[in-house]
Amino acid sequence: MVNTVMHSAPTSLKTWRIGVLAYPGCMGTQVFGMAELLRLALDLAEARRPGGHAVLDVQVLGLRGRSVTIAGGTTISTRAPRGRYDVLIVPGMEINHQVDWDRALAPLAPECMFLRKAYAAGTPVAAVCIGAFLLGEAGLLLGRRATTAWIFAHVLKQRYPGCTVDATSMLLEDAGVLTTGAVGSAFDLALHLVKHTLGADIATAAARVSLLPAERQSQAPFVDARLMPPARLPSFSLQVSQWLHTRLAQPFSLQTLAQAFLVSPSTLMRRVKTETGQTPLALLQAARIERAKQLLHTTTHSLAQVTEAVGYFDVASFSRLFGRLVGESPARYRRRKS
């Protein structure tokens, strides 16, 4: 059985049953923002093609009676799931940087069981932000590619090692399991659903009316390494990383780096790759790009000055590397951050 999350062309007059699964502590922004954008799109479709479009039946579902207390202590009304849904959407939950994941997820066993059974019966599922952790608890990420809020992607990877986590993707689908990036990606998911139910023209119109970007591909431009928890690297790779960070503007030499640690270049390369999954050069490039992002955001340095400050002398080559790792050009990144 292969589940898909609405990859076919829009079907006129079809009724799409979309369930948003609310649960204790989930984020209201993602529950209501998702539902309201879908309803807005439906209104736009009716204005453009009266009676000649699909219908979106959006329901806020709950497994704990007629109401549930969401993040911030607000109680909302829900309805019990009934019948088959074309897609079930799982919002993220309210957490903080000191979250105990076992303690946060254990009470949500009923929701995880519900999602597992629904998917086994052929219903596609989609998770917003750290709603991906509920899919992980349900066993739905095993052997699949997934994303989540970039700041918690490392936790998702550690907790569900059978999942291939892409921390930069805004939206990923693998065999009917769809995951998205951080909090605001709820709107990206909603527009994705609109595109595949009401059409690309309605998705574009809904984005314009809502002042939303029509289609975002990557979280990479929003990643700020300063907000990430300290990397827990083994001692050797941590020392190598620190050595590189203090020499960002210097030309890279594997031979010089190996000499600094009294090992051969091949030994250094093997140890760093084994411990981090990256080469020493990749570690340096990532550190240089993070420094460049800070300079673009906090200074008025020209692109050439920023390029030189992080160890490059060819602006075009640096811009290509920046675009590959960040997902947009240095100029666009600076404009968005200003």
Q: Is residue 10 part of a domain?
A: no
Asked if 217 and 237 sit in the same domain, the reply is no
Q: Are strands 164-165 and 125-127 parallel, antiparallel or unpaired?
A: unpaired
> What pLDDT, on the 0 to 100 scale, is given for residue 227?
65
User: Coil, strand or helix: which one is 55?
Assistant: strand
Asked if 45 and 124 sit in the same domain, the reply is yes
Asked if 152 and 208 sit in the same domain, the reply is yes
Asked if 67 and 178 sit in the same domain, the reply is yes
Pick the closest to residue 191 from 222, 221, 215 (CA basis): 215
* Side chain identity, residue 294: Q
Task: Tell me: pLDDT of 105 over 90.
Answer: yes
Q: What is the pLDDT of residues 296-335, one digit of tens each?
A: 988 999 999 999 999 999 999 999 999 888 888 999 888 8
Asked if 45 and 190 sit in the same domain, the reply is yes
Q: Measure the CA–CA gap between 225 and 240, rounded to whole angstroms.
A: 18
Q: Please state the rounded mean pLDDT for residues 235-264.
A: 91
Q: Please state the rounded mean pLDDT for residues 54-59.
A: 93
Q: Yes or no: say if 181 and 170 are a contact pair by the CB < 8 Å rule.
A: yes
pLDDT band at 1 (very low <50, low <70, confident <90, very high): very low
Asked if 205 and 275 sit in the same domain, the reply is no
Task: Tell me: pLDDT of 246 over 70.
Answer: yes
> Tokens in use for 55?
């219908």
Report the interhelical angle of 235-245 vs 280-298 (nearest 10°). 40
Q: Is residue 322 part of a domain?
A: yes
> Tokens in use for 293?
């992002």
Asked if 217 and 238 sit in the same domain, the reply is no
Percent of the chain with pLDDT over 90: 68
Asked if 236 and 197 sit in the same domain, the reply is no
Q: What is the pLDDT of residues 64-100, one digit of tens each?
A: 989 999 999 999 999 999 999 999 999 999 887 778 9
Asked if 273 and 300 sit in the same domain, the reply is yes
CATH number for the domain harbouring residue 85? 3.40.50.880
Q: Is residue 4 part of a domain?
A: no
Asked if 202 and 95 sit in the same domain, the reply is yes
> What pLDDT, on the 0 to 100 scale, is given for residue 236?
87
Q: Measure the CA–CA gap between 104 and 86, rounded to whole angstroms.
A: 28
* C-alpha distances in Å from residue 233, one per residue of 141, 229, 242: 25, 12, 11
pLDDT band at 230 (very low <50, low <70, confident <90, very high): low
Q: Please state the rounded mean pLDDT for residues 104-114.
A: 96
Length, in residues, of the chain:
338
Task: Tell me: pLDDT of 185 over 70.
Answer: yes
Q: Please state the rounded mean pLDDT for residues 173-191.
A: 93
Mean of all residue pLDDT scores within the chain: 90
> What pLDDT, on the 0 to 100 scale, is given for residue 243?
93
* Side chain identity, residue 92: G
The domain boundary, picked from 166, 188, 222, lies at 222
Q: Is residue 183 part of a domain?
A: yes
User: Coil, strand or helix: which one is 58?
Assistant: strand
The domain boundary, picked from 222, 257, 275, lies at 222
CA angle 163, 119, 109 (to 5 degrees): 75
Q: What are phi and psi of 89, to 5 degrees?
A: -115, 130
Q: Please state the rounded mean pLDDT for residues 25-54.
A: 91
CATH number for the domain harbouring residue 311? 1.10.10.60
> Tokens in use for 242?
């620190």
Give residue 35's domain range: 15-222
Task: Tell me: pLDDT of 10 over 70.
Answer: no
67: left (phi over 0), alpha (psi -120 to 50) or beta: beta
Q: Yes or no: say if 86 and 24 are a contact pair by the CB < 8 Å rule.
A: no
Q: Is residue 153 part of a domain?
A: yes
More confident residue, 13 or 240: 240
Number of domains in the chain: 2
First to last CA, the chain: 48
Name, in order, each residue with C-beta under 8 angstroms of 37's C-beta and a sequence gap of 6 or more.
187, 190, 191, 194, 206, 210
Asked if 126 and 92 sit in the same domain, the reply is yes
Q: Is residue 9 part of a domain?
A: no
Provide Rg for the chain, Cα atoms.
Answer: 23
Asked if 264 and 129 sit in the same domain, the reply is no
Query: Which class for 96: exposed (0-12), middle (13-18), buried (19 or more C-beta within 10 A)?
Result: exposed
The domain boundary, picked from 182, 206, 222, lies at 222
* Side chain identity, residue 143: G
Q: Yes or no: say if 119 and 176 are a contact pair by the CB < 8 Å rule.
A: yes
